[in-house]
Chain A
Amino acid sequence: MDDEKMVRQANQIAQYFSAYPEDRAKEGVRGHIRKFWEPRMRTQLINYAGAGGEGLHPLVLWAATQLQDEAGQPV
């Protein structure tokens, strides 16, 4: 998937969950991506976030860090 599409889709998820209080919103975004995104897509997101994550919603950036920790990849 091209980065632009990935950023848009991840941000859409964040836009939804941002209606919730912060902690729940964070967990919502992380949980959604963990539950529905195939590993290749998560890796792409983690790498993109790691490279600066331009255009990513802050909730997505946070989720990407969590997913990275979980995947045990070097930060």
Chain B
Amino acid sequence: MASVNPINYGTPRRESDTQVTLEIDGRSVTVPAGTSVMRAAIESGIDVPKLCASDNVEPFGSCRLCLVEIEGKRGYPASCTTEVAEGMEVRTVSDKLNQLRRGVIELYLSDHPGASKVETGDVGDDELLRLARDLDVREVRYDKEGRNHQDAVIDDSNPYFDFDSSRCIVCSRCVRACDEVQGTFALTVDGRGFASMISAGTDSDDFLNSECVSCGACVQACPTEALVEKNVVEQGMPERSVTTTCAYCGVGCSFNAELKGDEVVRMVPAKEGKANHGHSCVKGRFAWGYTNHPDRITKPMVRDKITDPWREVSWDEAMSFAVERINGIRDKHGSTALGAITSSRCTNEETYLVQKMARAVFGTNNVDTCARVCHSPTGYGLNSTFGTSAGTQDFDSVEKSDVMLVIGANPTDAHPVFASQMKKRLREGARLIVVDPRAIDLVRSPHVAAEHHLQLQPGTNVALVNALAHTVLAEGLENRAFVEQRCDVEEYDAWREFILREENSPEHTAQYTGVPADALREAARLYATGGNAAIYYGLGVTEHSQGSTMVMGMANIAMATGNIGRPGVGVNPLRGQNNVQGSCDMGSFPHELPGYRHISDQGVRDIYEAEWGVKLDDEPGLRIPNMIDAATGGTFKALYVQGEDILQSDPNIKHIAAGLAAMECVIIQDIFLNETASYAHVFLPGSTFLEKDGTFTNAERRINRVRKIRTAPGGYADWEVTQMLAQALGYPMNYGHPSEIMDEIARTTPTFRGVSFDKIDALGSVQWPCNDEHPEGTPVMHVDNFVRGKGKFMLTPFVPTDERANRRFPLLLTTGRILSQYNVGAQTRRTANRLWHAEDWLELHPSDAEVRGIKDGTLVAVASRMGETTLRAKVSERMTPGVVYTTFHFPETAANVITTEYSDWATECPEYKVTAVEVRPCNTLSEWQRRYMDTRDQMQRIEGNQSVRAPDTVAASVEEASDDDWEPAE
């Protein structure tokens, strides 16, 4: 597939210190050594016909279309597989070359259905037909009745793309894209010679049932529309494209949204995208259909009581309703009864406005964000040790890593594009240590295997990282020079004394972690001595009662081994949502203003007081769980929530529900009536990423542009809605465009001083800090000095969580995500991604299953001391005995009915990753689920509408399917 925009250079870019100069068609061209003749030509503006070459995969040299003549060389070498040489003289055009190329085209056309289209010029997205047109091949002399693939059946099993083998020229671009770019190795070329066929390599031999993860790299690579997006088949070729940023995970892939009119036909990952280099996953490329879903709420709605049906009203009426309630509450209970929640799915500008609304308009620091429940410990831990709350590297840094230590993260599912980059580096020989209770895909996948999988018990991360540190110090593997030069040595000495205590030895910690001491020691040695070692971690680190301690523990070992401050190393949080980094940067936490500056700092408050024209409260505000507690305690009454669904995503749902029910004014701004909206009084329709301008900041601190393609069905982008509410409350907020909000951020925040929309547009993206010192941004942090000056080792005492398995609840439940679904699933559940994952299931080890009489597909009740829920079981060797696992993408599963209220000591990030449970076969939904099903429709009724949503998942599937005919999807 050719995108509307980019040039395909035919072969990958090469890097070299040596430059080579050659002559192509009389033109002098200079390129790095190792570059192909094809790339050199195309870079200098000379097009070379090609079919089997593409610049994202290694050349293969099979189609023979790219032939050239080279002075002094016999024959007609393929330019894609020929490297440039100094002084080489190349001709890309001659009668002979033309004749040879036309012959090749003719042969391909003899077994291709589109030949007639060459005449009409309607060649669509088919490079073969385009070349036939350009080379003026009108006639096919070969016998079309001969051997051919023209009656092959189209494989339309994948919901997003078709495979029509009658158009396939077996150039293997798809196979190479799957291998080299995606790293899934799902495709093969079956058979030989003329009989050869691309195959997804399964018995049923269709894409859906194969190993394919639907990333679309093969579709993008295919030159002939043999692999083609269903949308292109249905809607025809797009006409223009707008570059924007994916709104799903923290990789933050850049996409060209390719459009017909204002309708998106397809999303094509942008080659220039510095986070993704032209690759994407199934979510970003294909799962954007939710933006047009009929469930979208397009009109503001209000209701007096949460038991009333919703009433659709004008924007004016919604605003007056909200203002009256907010003012009434403020008059009676003061500003501290008000609060707001910003969203990691909204843009930086929108997030900034919501916290500004809380602080400047509501007059309170009661503002928080969903990062509370995911990466708040990253903030605390990295800030304490390094001095700032962000990952240290850019993604490309991994290309220089020799060792990767992946802790509590599952990149192939949660950060797929970065996982592909990791896998590529691993295939090149980097070595891998995985720390996870579950055998995630990275532990063993095609051509990638972890050298060490430390399969620890949930809740014992800190014991494990202490044992790693102990081994490093006890075996003298630390980098003393780095520590002395870069770190606070007194703190280091205290840490060293602490870590070397016997209680932190691998032999001692094994009783908690379950990881054998020798395996742990081997892993520590590899990390400390294997070359550039980089740590990547996820929510398996943060969502623990010791999340912050663990983040500090990882920072400690990185400093102790000198693995910080250059490409290839570092400590890197893999952020869950697209803008978690940004929402934290923008001052979403109740104790700090934008740029992580504490609210008690008068100097910082001065800046904002001058800018906003109000006096700011100098006390920290309430965090989300505190708001809920204060609500049940009667002192917190009104909440403005932008783009979050705390009722589904936060722990201990029953308590959250009670808190929300106790409030007098809950304002939800979202694209769907989410679960939290069941408890709301005002609903303001929000906008998707296609409907607004702004920026997202990804996990590598990269600020990427989001560009508006069309107007939201409700009429306003989210920042405009916030502004409208602020104005209605009497505050002068008058931005004409999000760029003006970014200008204010830059004016007031030192790390953003150099950021502007113009700069991002010019550079493509920038990584903060971006200021006078780093005018083009900062790919790698802490290069010469830590942000805080000297790196600070922090003590990391292991304190086992209070949540322990016991006789009644003998198993430990941990939670996570899956590739095809995203978080609370509000978006992905409303796309064909349901085909892969239509419900949450409980994964457990065969031995745990057997003693309980549980088989694949058995309905099971999972009970903790907090509550109970019912879902289906999936028996899996990936689990370690005693540990069970589930995702939380479906509200009906209500996984958070069972999670506890335990949380990280420093940040109150909930301990999702450890809940003691018992599991038993059962045949009904839990009481909570039944009640929830009964009341949800009631609480979400809209006057005059039947129902705003289709009944889905567990409830429906329990009725439809018997236990026997259920099969777990992969």
Task: List residues 1-53 of chain A with CB under 8 A from any CB of chain B.
Answer: 1-2, 5, 8-9, 12-13, 15-16, 18-20, 32, 35-41
Contact B905 A9 (CB under 8 A): yes
- From residue A56, how far is it (CB to closest CB) to chain B in Å? 15
Interface size on A, residues (CB 8 A): 20
Q: Which residues of B contact A39 (CB under 8 A)?
A: 336, 619
A12 to B911 alpha-carbon distance, docked (Å): 13
- From residue A63, how far is it (CB to closest CB) to chain B in Å? 14
Q: Quick one: which of B598, B626, B905 contacts A12, CB cutoff 8 A?
A: B905
Does B906 lie at the interface of the complex (its beta carbon under 8 Å from any beta carbon of A)? Answer: yes
Does B802 lie at the interface of the complex (its beta carbon under 8 Å from any beta carbon of A)? Answer: yes
A15 to B901 alpha-carbon distance, docked (Å): 18
Contact B906 A38 (CB under 8 A): no
Contact A13 B905 (CB under 8 A): yes
Contact B797 A15 (CB under 8 A): yes
Q: Quick one: which of A1, A16, A35, A40 contacts B797, CB cutoff 8 A?
A: A16
Q: Which residues of A contact B619 (CB under 8 A)?
A: 38-39
Does B620 lie at the interface of the complex (its beta carbon under 8 Å from any beta carbon of A)? Answer: yes
Does B193 lie at the interface of the complex (its beta carbon under 8 Å from any beta carbon of A)? Answer: no
- From residue B162, how far is it (CB to closest CB) to chain A in Å? 54
Interface size on B, residues (CB 8 A): 32
Contact A32 B590 (CB under 8 A): no
Contact A16 B906 (CB under 8 A): yes
- From residue B364, how far is it (CB to closest CB) to chain A in Å? 10
Contact A35 B635 (CB under 8 A): no
Q: Which residues of B contact A5 (CB under 8 A)?
A: 629, 901
Does B621 lie at the interface of the complex (its beta carbon under 8 Å from any beta carbon of A)? Answer: yes
- Known contacts A12-B905, A16-B906, A41-B626; is A36 also within 8 Å of B545 by CB? no
Q: Which residues of B contact A35 (CB under 8 A)?
A: 591, 598, 600, 620
Contact A38 B795 (CB under 8 A): no
A40 to B619 alpha-carbon distance, docked (Å): 10
Q: Which residues of A contact B905 (CB under 8 A)?
A: 9, 12-13, 15-16
A9 to B633 alpha-carbon distance, docked (Å): 17
Does B630 lie at the interface of the complex (its beta carbon under 8 Å from any beta carbon of A)? Answer: yes
Does B549 lie at the interface of the complex (its beta carbon under 8 Å from any beta carbon of A)? Answer: yes
- From residue A46, how far is it (CB to closest CB) to chain B in Å? 14
- From residue A70, how far is it (CB to closest CB) to chain B in Å? 12
Q: Which residues of B contact A9 (CB under 8 A)?
A: 903, 905, 908
Contact A38 B626 (CB under 8 A): yes
A1 to B366 alpha-carbon distance, docked (Å): 16
Instruction: Specify the chain A residue showing the minimal Cβ separation from B336.
Output: A40
Q: Is the interface of B mostly helix, strand, loop or mixed?
A: loop
Q: Which residues of B contact A2 (CB under 8 A)?
A: 629
Q: Which residues of B contact A37 (CB under 8 A)?
A: 620
Q: Mark B748-783, 1 if CB is under 8 A from A, else 0.
A: 000000000000000000000000000000000000
Instruction: Specify the chain A residue showing the minimal Cβ separation from B621.
Output: A38
A19 to B498 alpha-carbon distance, docked (Å): 8
Contact B797 A36 (CB under 8 A): no
Does B799 lie at the interface of the complex (its beta carbon under 8 Å from any beta carbon of A)? Answer: yes
- From residue B904, how far is it (CB to closest CB) to chain A in Å? 8
Q: Which residues of B contact A8 (CB under 8 A)?
A: 802, 902
- Known contacts A9-B908, A38-B620, A39-B619; is A15 also within 8 Å of B799 by CB? yes
- From residue B301, how far is it (CB to closest CB) to chain A in Å? 31
- Known contacts A35-B591, A35-B600, A38-B620; is A16 also within 8 Å of B549 by CB? yes
Does B580 lie at the interface of the complex (its beta carbon under 8 Å from any beta carbon of A)? Answer: no
A6 to B143 alpha-carbon distance, docked (Å): 84
A41 to B621 alpha-carbon distance, docked (Å): 10
Instruction: Specify the chain A residue showing the minimal Cβ separation from B590.
Output: A38
Q: Which residues of A contact B795 (CB under 8 A)?
A: 19-20
- From residue A12, how far is it (CB to closest CB) to chain B in Å? 4
Does B622 lie at the interface of the complex (its beta carbon under 8 Å from any beta carbon of A)? Answer: yes
A15 to B796 alpha-carbon distance, docked (Å): 11
A13 to B906 alpha-carbon distance, docked (Å): 7
Q: Which residues of A contact B366 (CB under 8 A)?
A: 38
- Known contacts A5-B629, A15-B905; is A36 also within 8 Å of B799 by CB? no
Task: List residues 547-595 of chain B with CB under 8 A from any CB of chain A.
Answer: 549, 590-591
Q: Quick one: which of A1, A12, A19, A38 contacts B633, CB cutoff 8 A?
A: A1
Q: Which residues of A contact B633 (CB under 8 A)?
A: 1
Q: Which residues of B contact A36 (CB under 8 A)?
A: 591, 620, 906-907
Query: Assuming A19-B795, A37-B620, what are 8 further A-B pairs, CB within 8 angstroms?
Result: A8-B802, A16-B799, A19-B797, A32-B906, A35-B598, A38-B620, A39-B336, A41-B622
Interchain Cβ contacts under 8 Å between A and B, 14 examples: A1-B630, A1-B633, A9-B908, A13-B906, A15-B905, A16-B905, A19-B795, A20-B795, A35-B591, A38-B366, A38-B620, A38-B622, A38-B626, A40-B336
Interface residue ranges, B against A (CB under 8 Å): 336, 365-366, 498, 545, 549, 590-591, 598, 600, 619-623, 626, 629-630, 633, 635, 795-797, 799, 802, 901-903, 905-908
